Amino acid sequence: MRETNKYDLNIIGFSSKKTPKIKNIRFIEIFSKSRYHPARFLVPITFLFHLFSINPRLVILTTFELLPVAVLGKWFLGYKLVYDVQENYRKNIRHNATLPATIRPIASVLVRLIESSGRPFIDAHLLAEQCYQKEMPGLRNATVIENKAELPQKFLPAFRLTNPSSPRFLLTGTIAEAYGVSEAIIWFLELLKTVPLAQLHILGHCPMKSLAKELQKQVDIDPRINLQISSIPLPKHQIEDALRTADVLLLPYRPLPSIVDKIPTKLYEGIALQKPILISKNPLWGSILNRYPAGLEINFNELQDLANIWQRFSSLQFYQRPPGTEIDWQIEKIQLLTMLDKL
């Protein structure tokens, strides 16, 4: 949006350690406390205040939390409202175990009530996944804008694993049980019996303190595991740097109903950088891997045959076909700007 020189951009949200400075973008921080701090209930009021201060022509909303107050602001200010559906929140609540079991049903109903009551006032929907079209039928003016990757200018020729006896594994992104971090650690510790010089780097945003403590106990078992997690999202460049230096990208997602039909952003990013990938078994993900090929589907809970799996993975010739427009963000970018122009 900034590149078009058509927009004066204001980004309103939770604070980070260091607010970036980018030309033609104003960053407004409206919350800086812990995830479950009671002050979070006041965030909608602060958000509404800034809406009146900015008097925008267009609001792109990325969370259901602020949808009621965004609808209220639209009634007074008359802006166009876009709801960016980054997640199927109801499915996540039911299956990802990020909330206590006792409050999941209430939270799911609350999200459904907020999204359904706000729907008539939304001018357009952005969908981060193709599957959301089936999971959320009846959305007005819905455009799928997937989390694809920027392609490099040059691609590597086909290659085999560079360091099969001392590979550097990377698990990055949001660090959560649903994304298989514990299974990956157990899998890696078992693989060390076959590849004793291997290293595992776990890098990302871990929003749950209890999980962070549990992971620290797990990784203390072996110095070949480097745990680098944060309670707030990490800068994009830090994730990108880790991806570039890794030999193998691990994507050990659990086969949950909230996950299996989605395409992980890290899968797109790993393929764009031509990284060998080990991912949980899934026909959808496997069909993407096999185009190049970019790696193998495996069951991270099956530990008895790791030597053969590693031998098979090491003998693969990766990226006989370079990544193309099917994972290119530029295609999505054009769709996004076209939709905004229509509004």
Measured between its terminal Cα atoms, the distance across the chain in Å is: 14
> Can you tell me the distance from the alpha carbon of 47 to that of 172, in angstroms, rounded to the nearest whole number?
31
Assign 176 to helix, strand or coil: coil
Whether 73 and 79 have beta carbons less than 8 Å apart is answered as yes
Pick out the chain residues at pLDDT < 70: 16-17, 35
Q: What is the pLDDT of residue 207?
A: 86
Give per-residue pLDDT as tens, 39-57: 788 899 999 999 999 999 9
Whether 83 and 253 have beta carbons less than 8 Å apart is answered as no
Q: What is the pLDDT of residue 70?
A: 97
> Which CATH number does the domain 168-326 belong to among 3.40.50.970, 3.40.50.720, 3.40.50.2000, 3.40.640.10?
3.40.50.2000
Q: What is the pLDDT of residue 17?
A: 65
CATH code for residues 2-148+330-342: 3.40.50.2000
pTM across the whole model? 0.91
Q: What is the pLDDT of residue 127?
A: 97
Peptide bond just before 100 cis, omega within 30 deg:
no
Assign 127 to helix, strand or coil: strand
Give per-residue pLDDT as tens, 253-295: 999 999 999 999 999 999 999 999 999 999 999 999 999 999 9
Q: What is the pLDDT of residue 320?
A: 97
List every span in the chain annotated with CATH 3.40.50.2000: 2-148+330-342, 168-326
> Which phi and psi (to 5°) does residue 278 adopt?
-115, 120
